[in-house]
Protein backbone atom coordinates (compact mmCIF):
# COMPACT_ATOMS: atom_id res chain seq x y z
CA UNK A 1 0.00 0.00 0.00
CA UNK A 2 2.79 2.38 0.98
CA UNK A 3 4.79 1.56 -2.16
CA UNK A 4 1.72 2.26 -4.30
CA UNK A 5 1.24 5.64 -2.63
CA UNK A 6 4.89 6.56 -3.23
CA UNK A 7 4.54 5.59 -6.91
CA UNK A 8 1.43 7.73 -7.33
CA UNK A 9 3.07 10.72 -5.69
CA UNK A 10 6.19 10.35 -7.84
CA UNK A 11 4.17 10.09 -11.02
CA UNK A 12 2.15 13.19 -10.16
CA UNK A 13 5.24 15.35 -9.71
CA UNK A 14 6.36 14.67 -13.28
CA UNK A 15 9.94 14.47 -14.56
CA UNK A 16 12.75 16.27 -12.80
CA UNK A 17 13.50 19.72 -14.25
CA UNK A 18 16.34 19.52 -16.74
CA UNK A 19 17.84 22.88 -17.76
CA UNK A 20 19.54 21.27 -20.77
CA UNK A 21 16.46 19.50 -22.18
CA UNK A 22 15.11 21.30 -25.23
CA UNK A 23 11.37 21.85 -24.89
CA UNK A 24 10.18 21.94 -28.49
CA UNK A 25 6.67 23.07 -29.42
CA UNK A 26 5.02 21.19 -32.28
CA UNK A 27 3.42 23.76 -34.58
CA UNK A 28 2.18 20.93 -36.81
CA UNK A 29 0.57 18.14 -34.80
CA UNK A 30 0.63 15.53 -37.59
CA UNK A 31 -3.18 15.30 -37.68
CA UNK A 32 -4.75 18.65 -38.50
CA UNK A 33 -4.27 22.31 -39.41
CA UNK A 34 -4.98 23.37 -35.82
CA UNK A 35 -3.31 26.71 -35.09
CA UNK A 36 -2.89 27.56 -38.78
CA UNK A 37 -4.86 29.91 -41.06
CA UNK A 38 -4.74 29.50 -44.87
CA UNK A 39 -4.39 32.45 -47.22
CA UNK A 40 -4.77 31.27 -50.82
CA UNK A 41 -4.12 33.91 -53.50
CA UNK A 42 -7.44 35.12 -54.87
CA UNK A 43 -9.38 34.03 -51.77
CA UNK A 44 -10.06 35.71 -48.44
CA UNK A 45 -8.06 34.89 -45.34
CA UNK A 46 -9.26 31.59 -43.86
CA UNK A 47 -10.49 29.95 -47.09
CA UNK A 48 -8.70 26.85 -48.38
CA UNK A 49 -10.13 26.20 -51.87
CA UNK A 50 -9.02 22.96 -53.48
CA UNK A 51 -7.40 21.84 -50.22
CA UNK A 52 -4.18 23.63 -51.10
CA UNK A 53 -3.12 22.90 -47.52
CA UNK A 54 -3.93 19.43 -46.22
CA UNK A 55 -2.72 16.65 -43.95
CA UNK A 56 -1.82 13.44 -45.74
CA UNK A 57 -0.22 10.36 -44.13
CA UNK A 58 0.85 12.41 -41.13
CA UNK A 59 2.54 15.04 -43.29
CA UNK A 60 1.56 18.63 -44.03
CA UNK A 61 1.21 18.86 -47.82
CA UNK A 62 1.14 22.15 -49.73
CA UNK A 63 0.07 21.79 -53.36
CA UNK A 64 -1.78 23.73 -56.06
CA UNK A 65 -5.43 22.71 -56.49
CA UNK A 66 -6.23 20.27 -59.33
CA UNK A 67 -6.46 22.02 -62.69
CA UNK A 68 -4.55 25.08 -61.50
CA UNK A 69 -3.73 27.14 -64.58
CA UNK A 70 -1.94 30.15 -63.19
CA UNK A 71 0.91 31.49 -65.39
CA UNK A 72 4.29 29.92 -64.71
CA UNK A 73 5.71 33.16 -63.32
CA UNK A 74 2.98 33.32 -60.67
CA UNK A 75 4.50 30.77 -58.35
CA UNK A 76 2.83 31.87 -55.11
CA UNK A 77 -0.26 29.73 -54.55
CA UNK A 78 -0.81 30.70 -50.95
CA UNK A 79 0.40 30.92 -47.38
CA UNK A 80 -0.35 28.92 -44.26
CA UNK A 81 0.03 31.29 -41.32
CA UNK A 82 0.51 30.20 -37.72
CA UNK A 83 -1.32 31.92 -34.90
CA UNK A 84 1.76 32.51 -32.69
CA UNK A 85 3.70 35.76 -32.57
CA UNK A 86 7.31 35.16 -31.55
CA UNK A 87 10.59 37.02 -31.24
CA UNK A 88 13.43 34.74 -30.01
CA UNK A 89 13.14 31.18 -31.29
CA UNK A 90 14.47 28.39 -33.49
CA UNK A 91 12.11 27.24 -36.22
CA UNK A 92 12.88 23.72 -37.44
CA UNK A 93 11.28 22.15 -40.50
CA UNK A 94 11.91 18.95 -42.41
CA UNK A 95 10.61 19.12 -45.98
CA UNK A 96 10.84 17.49 -49.36
CA UNK A 97 9.40 18.22 -52.80
CA UNK A 98 6.98 15.73 -54.29
CA UNK A 99 7.48 15.03 -57.98
CA UNK A 100 7.27 17.89 -60.43
CA UNK A 101 8.32 17.99 -64.05
CA UNK A 102 12.06 18.49 -64.66
CA UNK A 103 12.81 22.17 -64.63
CA UNK A 104 15.68 24.49 -65.38
CA UNK A 105 17.39 26.45 -62.64
CA UNK A 106 16.74 29.66 -64.60
CA UNK A 107 13.04 29.12 -63.82
CA UNK A 108 13.18 30.11 -60.16
CA UNK A 109 9.57 29.08 -59.59
CA UNK A 110 10.36 25.39 -60.28
CA UNK A 111 10.43 23.29 -57.08
CA UNK A 112 10.10 26.32 -54.89
CA UNK A 113 8.43 26.80 -51.52
CA UNK A 114 9.24 28.98 -48.54
CA UNK A 115 9.09 29.93 -44.87
CA UNK A 116 8.10 33.39 -43.69
CA UNK A 117 9.33 34.95 -40.44
CA UNK A 118 8.62 38.35 -38.86
CA UNK A 119 5.33 38.46 -40.81
CA UNK A 120 3.26 41.57 -40.00
CA UNK A 121 -0.27 42.85 -40.66
CA UNK A 122 -1.51 39.38 -41.55
CA UNK A 123 -5.15 40.03 -40.65
CA UNK A 124 -5.40 42.87 -43.17
CA UNK A 125 -4.24 40.88 -46.23
CA UNK A 126 -6.37 41.41 -49.33
CA UNK A 127 -7.65 38.56 -51.49
CA UNK A 128 -4.98 39.05 -54.18
CA UNK A 129 -2.13 40.03 -51.86
CA UNK A 130 0.83 37.65 -52.22
CA UNK A 131 2.72 38.39 -49.00
CA UNK A 132 2.40 40.32 -45.78
CA UNK A 133 5.45 42.40 -44.86
CA UNK A 134 7.92 39.65 -43.92
CA UNK A 135 11.18 37.92 -44.76
CA UNK A 136 11.07 34.69 -46.76
CA UNK A 137 13.48 31.81 -46.34
CA UNK A 138 13.27 30.41 -49.86
CA UNK A 139 13.30 26.61 -50.18
CA UNK A 140 14.51 25.27 -53.54
CA UNK A 141 14.97 21.78 -54.93
CA UNK A 142 17.67 20.66 -57.35
CA UNK A 143 17.17 19.29 -60.85
CA UNK A 144 19.73 16.50 -60.48
CA UNK A 145 22.53 18.38 -62.20
CA UNK A 146 22.90 22.11 -61.53
CA UNK A 147 23.76 24.03 -58.37
CA UNK A 148 20.66 25.38 -56.65
CA UNK A 149 21.14 26.30 -52.98
CA UNK A 150 18.25 26.32 -50.54
CA UNK A 151 17.39 28.48 -47.49
CA UNK A 152 17.97 31.69 -49.44
CA UNK A 153 16.77 35.12 -48.28
CA UNK A 154 13.97 36.99 -50.08
CA UNK A 155 12.79 40.12 -48.23
CA UNK A 156 9.06 40.69 -48.74
CA UNK A 157 8.46 44.30 -47.83
CA UNK A 158 11.03 44.44 -45.03
CA UNK A 159 14.36 46.23 -45.27
CA UNK A 160 17.13 44.04 -43.85
CA UNK A 161 20.89 44.28 -43.40
CA UNK A 162 23.56 41.79 -44.38
CA UNK A 163 27.28 42.25 -43.67
CA UNK A 164 26.58 45.86 -42.71
CA UNK A 165 24.79 46.76 -45.93
CA UNK A 166 21.13 47.04 -46.86
CA UNK A 167 19.89 44.16 -49.01
CA UNK A 168 18.65 45.52 -52.33
CA UNK A 169 18.37 42.28 -54.33
CA UNK A 170 15.08 40.41 -54.61
CA UNK A 171 16.73 37.25 -53.28
CA UNK A 172 20.17 36.45 -51.87
CA UNK A 173 21.51 32.92 -52.32
CA UNK A 174 22.82 30.99 -49.34
CA UNK A 175 25.99 28.90 -49.17
CA UNK A 176 24.07 25.61 -48.84
CA UNK A 177 24.59 22.52 -50.90
CA UNK A 178 22.01 21.58 -53.54
CA UNK A 179 19.47 18.96 -52.52
CA UNK A 180 18.31 16.90 -55.47
CA UNK A 181 15.47 14.42 -55.74
CA UNK A 182 12.86 13.74 -53.09
CA UNK A 183 15.20 13.59 -50.08
CA UNK A 184 14.18 15.11 -46.76
CA UNK A 185 15.99 18.33 -45.89
CA UNK A 186 16.22 19.88 -42.43
CA UNK A 187 16.26 23.66 -42.16
CA UNK A 188 16.58 25.65 -38.94
CA UNK A 189 15.90 29.37 -38.76
CA UNK A 190 17.34 30.96 -35.62
CA UNK A 191 15.45 34.22 -35.02
CA UNK A 192 16.98 36.49 -32.37
CA UNK A 193 14.56 39.41 -32.49
CA UNK A 194 16.07 42.16 -34.63
CA UNK A 195 19.65 41.27 -33.64
CA UNK A 196 20.27 38.40 -36.08
CA UNK A 197 18.55 35.72 -38.11
CA UNK A 198 20.56 32.63 -39.11
CA UNK A 199 19.63 30.13 -41.83
CA UNK A 200 20.95 26.65 -41.01
CA UNK A 201 20.76 23.63 -43.35
CA UNK A 202 21.58 20.20 -41.92
CA UNK A 203 23.38 21.83 -38.97
CA UNK A 204 25.48 24.17 -41.17
CA UNK A 205 24.89 27.92 -41.02
CA UNK A 206 24.55 29.10 -44.61
CA UNK A 207 23.32 32.72 -44.35
CA UNK A 208 22.79 35.47 -41.75
CA UNK A 209 21.04 38.82 -41.74
CA UNK A 210 19.83 41.40 -39.22
CA UNK A 211 17.88 44.59 -38.39
CA UNK A 212 14.57 44.00 -40.22
CA UNK A 213 12.76 47.30 -40.62
CA UNK A 214 9.27 48.19 -41.80
CA UNK A 215 7.73 51.62 -42.23
CA UNK A 216 10.61 53.26 -40.39
CA UNK A 217 10.60 50.99 -37.32
CA UNK A 218 12.71 48.02 -36.31
CA UNK A 219 10.83 44.72 -36.36
CA UNK A 220 11.50 42.51 -33.34
CA UNK A 221 8.70 39.94 -33.66
CA UNK A 222 6.09 38.56 -36.02
CA UNK A 223 4.22 35.54 -37.28
CA UNK A 224 5.49 32.41 -39.03
CA UNK A 225 4.08 31.09 -42.32
CA UNK A 226 4.67 28.35 -44.88
CA UNK A 227 4.49 29.23 -48.58
CA UNK A 228 2.93 26.96 -51.20
CA UNK A 229 4.32 27.19 -54.74
CA UNK A 230 3.55 25.50 -58.06
CA UNK A 231 5.01 22.14 -57.06
CA UNK A 232 3.81 20.02 -54.14
CA UNK A 233 5.94 20.04 -51.01
CA UNK A 234 5.53 18.03 -47.82
CA UNK A 235 6.57 18.92 -44.28
CA UNK A 236 6.90 16.11 -41.77
CA UNK A 237 8.08 18.43 -39.02
CA UNK A 238 7.35 22.07 -38.17
CA UNK A 239 8.58 22.77 -34.64
CA UNK A 240 9.54 25.80 -32.58
CA UNK A 241 12.05 26.06 -29.76
CA UNK A 242 11.73 29.24 -27.67
CA UNK A 243 15.09 30.90 -27.10
CA UNK A 244 13.91 33.49 -24.58
CA UNK A 245 12.84 32.80 -21.02
CA UNK A 246 14.07 32.24 -17.49
CA UNK A 247 17.87 32.12 -17.13
CA UNK A 248 18.15 32.29 -13.31
CA UNK A 249 19.87 29.03 -12.23
CA UNK A 250 17.93 29.15 -8.95
CA UNK A 251 14.62 28.75 -10.79
CA UNK A 252 13.16 25.33 -11.50
CA UNK A 253 12.32 26.22 -15.12
CA UNK A 254 15.53 27.92 -16.22
CA UNK A 255 17.16 26.80 -19.49
CA UNK A 256 20.84 26.86 -20.33
CA UNK A 257 20.21 27.31 -24.06
CA UNK A 258 18.11 30.48 -23.84
CA UNK A 259 19.80 33.34 -25.69
CA UNK A 260 17.67 36.11 -24.19
CA UNK A 261 16.57 36.53 -20.57
CA UNK A 262 13.03 37.11 -19.40
CA UNK A 263 13.17 36.28 -15.71
CA UNK A 264 9.57 37.34 -15.20
CA UNK A 265 8.86 33.77 -16.38
CA UNK A 266 10.93 32.17 -13.61
CA UNK A 267 9.34 29.69 -11.24
CA UNK A 268 10.81 28.85 -7.86
CA UNK A 269 10.36 25.88 -5.57
CA UNK A 270 8.64 26.79 -2.32
CA UNK A 271 10.16 24.78 0.49
CA UNK A 272 8.18 24.01 3.64
Burial of 181 (0-12, 13-18, 19+ CB in 10 A): exposed
Report residue 16's pLDDT band, with 50, 70 and 90 as the boundaries. confident
Domain count, the chain: 1
On whether residue 190 sits in a domain, the answer given is: yes
Residue 24's pLDDT is 98
On whether residue 110 sits in a domain, the answer given is: yes
On whether residue 230 sits in a domain, the answer given is: yes
**What is the Cα–Cα distance from 174 to 91, expressed in whole angstroms?**
17
Q: Across the strands, what pairs with 37?
A: 81
On whether residue 11 sits in a domain, the answer given is: no
The pLDDT of residue 69 is above 90: no
Neighbour count for residue 143 (Cβ, 10 Å) = 19
Q: What is the pLDDT of residues 227-271, one digit of tens each?
A: 998 889 999 999 999 999 999 999 999 999 999 999 999 999 875
The CATH number given to whatever domain includes residue 81 is: 2.60.120.560
Q: What is the pLDDT of residues 22-37, one digit of tens each?
A: 999 999 999 999 999 9
On whether residue 13 sits in a domain, the answer given is: no
**Residue 164 domain boundaries:** 19-265
**What is the Cα–Cα distance from 136 to 160, expressed in whole angstroms?**
12
Alpha carbons within 13 angstroms on the beta-carbon side of residue 22 total 14
Q: What is the pLDDT of residues 124-145, one digit of tens each?
A: 999 989 999 999 999 999 888 8
Per-residue 3-state assignment (H helix, E strand, C coil) for 179-233 = CCCCCCEEEEEEEECCCEEEEEECCEEEEEEEEEEECCEECCCEEEEEEECCCCE
On whether residue 204 sits in a domain, the answer given is: yes
On whether residue 191 sits in a domain, the answer given is: yes
State the Cα angle at 241 between 235 and 244, rounded to 5°. Answer: 150
Alpha carbons within 13 angstroms on the beta-carbon side of residue 68 total 24
Residue 3's pLDDT is 53
C-alpha of 75 from chain center = 19
Query: Is the model more confident about 210 or about 110?
Result: 210
Amino acid sequence: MLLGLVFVLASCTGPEPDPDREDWIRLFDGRSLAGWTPKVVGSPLGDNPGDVFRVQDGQLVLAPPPGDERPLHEDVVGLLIHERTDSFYRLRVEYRFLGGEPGHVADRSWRRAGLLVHALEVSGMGADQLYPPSAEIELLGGNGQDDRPTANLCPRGLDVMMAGEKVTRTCVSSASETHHGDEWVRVDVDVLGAERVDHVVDSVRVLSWSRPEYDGRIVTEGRIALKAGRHPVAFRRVDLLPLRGCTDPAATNHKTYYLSSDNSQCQYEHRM
